[in-house]
Amino acid sequence: MFSRKLVALVGAAAVLAAACSSGSTPSPSAAASAAASAAASSGGGEGCVVGVSWNNFQQPRWAATDEPGIQQTVEAAGGKYISADANLVNEQQLTDVDSLISQGAKVLILLAQDQNAILPAVQKAKDAGIPVIAYDRLIEDTSVLYLTFDNVAVGKAEAAALLEKVPTGNYVLIKGDPGDPNASTFLPQGWDEAGLKAKVDSGDIKILNGPDGTFTDAWKTEKAQSNMEAIIDKANADGNKIDAILAENDSTALGVVAALTAKNYGFPPLSGQDGDPANLNNVALGKQYVDVWKNSLELGKAAGQAALQLCAGTAIADLSITVDSSVQPTAGATPMDFTTPGNNVVKSFILQPTPVTADTLNLPIDAGWYATKDDICKGVDPATGPAACK
């Protein structure tokens, strides 16, 4: 009976996805609510307790898009959603997982603070027969389902936009947390696939802060700001002009903008990712050149769908998700094999991102993203600003 009801749930989600492709798309919270309403009568998740361990719920994205996507998908099917926030502390995350298991979690969705520190919790879940979804950050364990956006493609989109805008000159690389494979492996791989390494090797581009760039502990905005201020001071002392800045995500990009503002430096082309409201506003204001938008409501919905199926005993290899066509994995609706940096193979759903510049700010606005037109266009002169703000 669960399978038949789950099909109904996925079908309802498909109807919603089709609606989200039309001209009048609801906001993420409204979209998730619509999915919940459409699927509520289908049931199918009774007895399914989905436990989510957030590494740092203070980051706005998780509450604005990811959690509604997960929670409302699970609850629409009759399941129960429980969660905990580790607030950037590895030991707390291990305690949180213990608590989620003791509360009866049948599936765990883990946004790991550190891919190595989380491994004891994964082992405890495995010992208890509880499936694990590695959410948005890789966990090096072949038993998990890895669900994320294509972070190599994110990095490639960031670098491609900047390399087209600034094909030669002095670059600064602002990376994220060194314990996150996205920061240390996948995003830089995308940068190199876009041609950054070739440009450096040819001498067309010089990296002012060393070949590996500068990492940002916990992706913290204030840390990125202090790092960038030091880089600006050194560049000035050495007589070097900063022509472009590759920042790996939006929180680090905000730190870069704060540093540039504090130092009265101007705003060289700058990258970011996530589609946070302040960053899309900076794109509209000309303070950030490109923001790689990840429609993370869809990622949350996919996680909720996968969790429900895992609760029903479906094998990871047999899972199926329904998401909006704009983020559809290139491998389709079924899991693909993903080879990790540790040379493990995990089953994965990898959604697709969308780069946004001032010329394409209409994309998140038209999609009903939680960053509204008012958020994005705050302080923009309609007469001279991007077309999306007119």
What integer pLDDT is reported at residue 88 of this predicted model? 93
- Tell whether 132 and 172 lie within a shared domain: no
- Tell whether 241 and 383 lie within a shared domain: yes
The CATH number of residue 6's host domain is 3.40.50.2300
pTM above 0.85, yes or no: no
Q: Low-confidence residues of the chain, pLDDT below 50?
A: 1-42
- Tell whether 168 and 120 lie within a shared domain: no
What integer pLDDT is reported at residue 368 of this predicted model? 87
CA–CA gap between residue 53 and residue 254 (Å, rounded): 26
What integer pLDDT is reported at residue 383 of this predicted model? 93
In the chain, the number of structural domains is: 2
Tokens of 202: 């040819």
- Residue 149 is classified by DSSP as E
- Tell whether 287 and 301 lie within a shared domain: no
CB of 367 closer than 8 Å to CB of 25: yes
- Tell whether 281 and 308 lie within a shared domain: no
Tokens of 225: 């700001």
- Tell whether 42 and 115 lie within a shared domain: yes
Task: Return the closest-CA partner of residue 108 out of 297, 99, 335.
Answer: 99
What integer pLDDT is reported at residue 58 of this predicted model? 86
Range of the domain at 19: 2-150+294-353
What integer pLDDT is reported at residue 59 of this predicted model? 83
- Tell whether 370 and 342 lie within a shared domain: no
Tokens of 138: 């890789």
What integer pLDDT is reported at residue 32 of this predicted model? 43
- Tell whether 216 and 281 lie within a shared domain: yes
- Tell whether 172 and 273 lie within a shared domain: yes
What integer pLDDT is reported at residue 10 of this predicted model? 39
- Tell whether 24 and 140 lie within a shared domain: yes
Residues 6+ apart with CB under 8 A from 316: 131, 145, 310, 335, 347
